[in-house]
Amino acid sequence: MFLMNYSGNSLLRTNNMTKKALNVGLAVSFGLFSSLATAGFEVVALGVDGGVTDGNLTSYLIRDDSQPLYLALDAGSVLPGIAKALEKGNFPDITDEMAAPLTRQGYIFRQRINSYFISHAHLDHVSGLIIGSPEDSKKTIYASADTIDVLRNYYFNWRVWPNFTDSGSGTRLGTYRMQLVRPAQSLSLGLTRLTGEMYPLSHDKSPSSMLLVSSNNNVFAYFGDTGPDEIEKSKNLDTVWRKLAEKVKQQQLKGMIIEVSYPNAASDSKLYGHMTPKWLLKELKNLEKYSGEGQPLTGLPVVISHIKPSLQQGQDVRQTIATELQAGNDMGVNFILMEQGDRQQF
Ligand SMILES: [Zn+2]
Ligand SMILES: [Zn+2]
């Protein structure tokens, strides 16, 4: 019964041959999903990397699949990701007529992204928001007190960039309403019909956060950057796993996006608040333990995000990380590596 909650497709995309086949499969299953109007989430990957490449930095759109408006989960690369998803045919409901006088890219950016959740204020999570702000429409930015403080004081301060927010220094251009989110407080997310609860994460001992997105008794977990508890000397992930275990038991957890920045070869002293496959598997073991008997995580979709690209010849970090995750995956978790512009139902 439990398996029914999860999409059966294994989408660990490791080579181009399978990618093509999987995309076909995905298109078919979307047709099925929309005709059955399955309650769930749709995710579009606007950016998937954890740095280095400035056109493909962490950002995902999520919406209740019965609703038109998206919440952006981080905003590292926004407009390039929309362009890529359009190229891949992954905004099939958006036509030129609907978008006019805007381009489809502009229409999705301005009219379909209703609000932003920012997990933490590192540049690879906010650069698309900042650079796109002069063309953005009025929106709410949901974030922790620390993240709002950094956005206000260090980016939108008329020195680095004009102040497009509704608070802080100098003339306030007011495009963005800064909405402070407190840990574990339940809030509705703009006009998306999604609700959320934020939980703190530890990221090289600086604050980051996770958003538990809910709609109609379904939940989806979006993790900002995080290190493992053991290295971070933290209990933050442990708290999150206990919370998510309740949702697994109630068969409500539809999936998650979580980071693995480096392959296992990275030494623990050089992780700077990030995960390797070994550490993510170890952390997921805690979720499994708290979720009950047997193999409660079988089929659970776990999207791997924030991989740091290598500039070394002959290194395929995505492939290495995928292989290392699969090698240690005795929980039956469905690891998924989305690429920029990909869309998936959960
Ligand atoms: Zn990052
Ligand atoms: Zn970070």
- 283 CA → ligand 2 middle, Å: 19
Q: What is the CATH number of the domain that holds 125?
A: 3.60.15.10
| pLDDT at residue number 5 | 40
Mean pLDDT of 139-160: 97
Give me the chain's average pLDDT, please: 91
Say which residue, 6 or 214, is predicted with more confidence: 214
Q: For residue 15, give every residue at least 6 positions away whose Cβ sits within 8 Å of its Cβ, in sequence order, or none.
A: none
Mean pLDDT of 340-344: 98
Q: What is the pLDDT of residues 164-197, one digit of tens each?
A: 999 999 999 999 999 999 999 999 999 999 999 9
| pLDDT at residue number 39 | 74
| pLDDT at residue number 205 | 81
Mean pLDDT of 100-129: 98
| pLDDT at residue number 38 | 55
Q: Is residue 32 part of a domain?
A: no
- 225 CA → ligand 2 middle, Å: 5
Closest listed ligand to the CA of 209: 2
Q: Is residue 46 part of a domain?
A: yes
Q: Is residue 14 part of a domain?
A: no
Closest listed ligand to the CA of 48: 1
Q: 176-180 and 139-143: which strand pairing?
A: parallel
Closest listed ligand to the CA of 207: 2
In this prediction, what percent of the chain has a pLDDT beyond 70?
89
- 39 CA → ligand 1 middle, Å: 30
pLDDT at 1 over 60: no
Say how many domains are in the chain: 1
Q: Is residue 13 part of a domain?
A: no
- 316 CA → ligand 1 middle, Å: 19
pLDDT at 102 over 50: yes
Q: Is residue 176 part of a domain?
A: yes
Q: Is residue 20 part of a domain?
A: no
- 167 CA → ligand 1 middle, Å: 25
Q: Is residue 79 part of a domain?
A: yes
Q: Which two tokens stand for residue 26?
A: 């995905």
Q: What is the pLDDT of residues 274-319, one digit of tens each?
A: 999 999 999 999 999 999 999 999 999 999 999 999 999 999 999 9
Write out the residue range of the structural domain in which residue 313 sits: 41-338
Q: What is the pLDDT of residues 26-58, one digit of tens each?
A: 333 333 334 344 579 999 999 999 999 999 999
